[in-house]
Amino acid sequence: MHTPLHDVELWNKFRKGDKEAYALLYKIYFRRLYNYGRKFTSDTECVKDCIQDLFTKLWRNKSTVGETSSVKNYLFCSFRRILIDKINHQKKDALSEEIDDSYTFEISLPYESLLINHQAEAERKEELARAIQALSSRQKEAIFLKFYESNSYEEVASIMTISTKSLYKLVAKAINTLRESVKKTYFLLSLLLLI
């Protein structure tokens, strides 16, 4: 298991041109970046291209990239920028319209978590899944980075390049929406149980 300290050590070795450290960074982050990227697009080639871009750019700029306290943040943030640029560029080619920085982000509950014998519990899960779908892309991304990737609020804010305060609001709003929608089903269920 790697630790952030280990990351920084690898990072500094890589900056001096250490290929082994560079390869280890790839090994540690490829799957996480791929998983994250796939939430923006289902185009796997595009995700692969962007990871390639990210790592080749790192190699080219190894002598100029600075120190960082969080390699993970650096990689996620750069990768996110490359990916959104590429997706919007492709969109622009297709529609020949101005570039915007909007994006889509899709997360869903794992399929197996919806396979529940208990009827009421299954309904509640389905309601939660629907509510997640209904969140905005930014909310979904914030939730993903916060609860799935277990980042701190500061880290998520820096990856998404917004202030920590607005990030916190974004997450709180999303959680509130999810809980409200689930509570509705809870209420109906408890009524049923009472009868």
Partner 1 sequence: MKYTYYTAEDFILDESFQRWVKHPTPEASLFWENWLTANPHKRDTIEEARQALLELHFTEHTPTEEVYDEVWERINQANTLYDQQQKSKIILYYSLNNWYKVAAVFAGMLLTALVLYYIFNLQKHIEYTTKYGETQNITLPDGSTIILNANSKVSYAPNWTNTSIREVWVEGEAFFSVIHTKTHQKFVVHTTDNFQVEVLGTQFNVYQRKNNTRVVLKEGQVKLNIQQENLEEQVVMKPGELVEVREQIKGYTKKVVNPELFSAWTKNEFIFSETPVSEIITLLEENYGLSVVLKDRSVLKRTITGSVPSENLESLLFALSEALNYRIVQENNQIIFRNKSIK
In order of 1, 28, 121, 144, the CA distances from 7 in angstroms are 11, 9, 41, 22
Residue 179 touching partner 1 (CB under 8 A)? yes
Q: What is the 3-state secondary structure (H, E, C) of 72-116?
A: HHHHHHHHHHHHHHHHHHHHHHHHCCCCCCCCCCCCCCCHHHHCC
Among 20, 44, 89, 134, binds partner 1 (CB under 8 A): 44
Select from 5-13, 80-88, 94-102, 176-184 the region that touches partner 1 (CB under 8 A).
176-184
In order of 8, 13, 85, 131, the CA distances from 102 in angstroms are 32, 36, 10, 21
Task: Map residues 117-146 to x or -, x wherever contact with partner 1 holds by CB under 8 A.
Answer: --------x--x--------------xx--
- Within 77-96, which residues bind partner 1 (CB under 8 A)? none
What is the nearest approach in angstroms of partner 1 to the Cβ of residue 67?
22
Q: Phi and psi at residue 54, in whole multiples of 5°?
A: -55, -50
Among 97, 111, 118, 119, binds partner 1 (CB under 8 A): 111
Select from 4-12, 55-63, 66-74, 77-85 the region that touches partner 1 (CB under 8 A).
55-63
Q: What is residue 30's three-state secondary structure?
A: helix
155 and 140 Cβ atoms separated by less than 8 Å: no
What is the nearest approach in angstroms of partner 1 to the Cβ of residue 8?
20
Residue 113 touching partner 1 (CB under 8 A)? yes
Among 175, 181, 188, 189, binds partner 1 (CB under 8 A): 175
Spatial separation of the C-alpha atoms in residues 138 and 33, rounded to whole Å: 17
Among 6, 48, 92, 130, binds partner 1 (CB under 8 A): 48
